[in-house]
Structure 1
C-alpha cells in the first residue's frame, strides 16, 4: 500500500491562528514527555550507562597493570568515542506514537477547533489524527475553525454532516464539484453560526 503524502500545516487566508499560552504550554509539556519516553524505550540510556561503567573499570585495571595512567586514559577515551559512534549508527529510530502524545487531553481531536491551523498541534499528532479526512473537508473546516465554538472533532463532524445533506438533498443549481463544495460551505457556515448562538449545541 502506497504511503500517503505528508500534509502541510493548513494556513488560513487571513493567516489567523489561535493564541492560548496556557494551552500551548500544556501541549509542549506533553510533547517533551513523549520524546523523553521514546528515548527511554530505545534502551540508549541504559546502554550508555553500562558502557561507561565498563570503561571506567577497564581504565582502572589498565592503569594498575601498566603503571601508565595517561595511556589508560587515552585508551578509555578512544574506546568511548568509538562506542558512541557505534551506538549512534546502530540505535533504532525513536518510536514516537504521535496519536498518544495528547492522550491525557483526549487526543488531538479534543483541541479547540482553531488548533487545526496551529503549528504546535501539528507536532502533537494532528497530521496522524487527520489521516482519512478528505482534503475538501479539511479545507472547509479550516475556513470555519476560527468561528467554531467546539473541538476539532466536532467541527469535522459538522462538515461531514453538511456534505451528506448536500449529497442527499442536492440544493442549488451548480452540480460541478466546485458548486457542491460551495453548497457544503454555505450550509456548514450556517450550522456553525447556529452553534455560536447556541453553544450547548456545539458538541452535538
Structure 2
C-alpha cells in the first residue's frame, strides 16, 4: 500500500459476525522480537493499529514486553497510539526509547511487495480446504529483497531466514482475507530474531 490509510478504502471478507451497517475494521499489527542468547529475556516490541472504516480513524497500542525463563520476572508496558498523516502518534507519556522507535517505524506492507512467491524455495506447506487456510514456509536468501529490507531497516542478521506465510478466509475479486507472515533468524550463539506482521479484517463492534 502507498499508505496505511489506504485500508479505509479496502473491502475485506465479511461473514455473519458483521452487523449490517458495520463497514468493518482493519487490524494491522507488527512485531519485532529479539533474544540475544538462551539466558537473556525475549524482548518484543508490538504495534497494533485499528483502522475503523466507519469513522476513518485509527487508534491502537504499542506494547513493550520482556519474557524471562522465570515467568515471575516478566514485564509488560502498554502505550496508546494513533495513526494519522502517515505516521504513528503517541497518546501517552513514554520513555525516549519508545518515542524514537515509533517515530520512524514503517510496516513492511508500506514499503515492500512479496512479488512472485513461486520463485522462492518452499520448505514445507499445509492446506485446509474446510477453513480455508494455507500455511507455507519459504527459505529467503540473504540477498532477498524482504531479507535485505529487514537487515537495513531494523538491523536483522545478515543471513538466510525462514519466512512463514498464512492466509485465511474466502477470497473474491473485491475483498481481501486475513494475512499473516513471520520471518525468523537464528544466530550461532542461540540468538533469535524475528519480525512478524499481520492484517486482519474484523467487525468494529469488538471495540476497535
Superposition TM-score, scaled by structure 1 size: 0.24
Relative to total residues, which structure has the larger helix share, 1 or 2?
1
Higher strand proportion (structure 1 or 2) = 2
TM-score, normalised via structure 2 length: 0.24
